[in-house]
Amino acid sequence: MAFSKVEYHPHATMRLRMRHISEAQVERTVRFPDRIYASTNPPGRLIAERHTAAGNTVRVIYVERDGGTTAHVLTVYRMGGKRS
């Protein structure tokens, strides 16, 4: 994606710390996702997933802002595998 900026909702910042996920992982995920799709509940959100070298997947829920140049991250979590 062509995001020039990635910003974080306070909830996302809290989840990053709690789940030991770095901002660098989140930014790689939204800029270079392995998979991206629209959320159905609630609509208007996007979900980006990226597989990591540690064998897990980082999932980022975000909305586009500023005409699609900013990804505003709402929450993030890791699926499967082990922490990287």
Any idea what the CATH number is for the domain that residue 38 is in? 3.30.2310.20
Distance CA 24, CA 84 (A): 12
Taking only the tens place, the pLDDT of each residue in 35-79 is 999 999 888 999 999 998 888 999 999 999 998 899 999 999 999
- Report yes or no on 84 lying in a domain: no
Count how many domains the chain has.
Answer: 1
Please report the pLDDT score of residue 15 as a whole number: 95
Q: Is the pLDDT of residue 83 over 80?
A: no
**What is the model's pTM?**
0.89
What residues make up the domain containing 63? Answer: 5-79
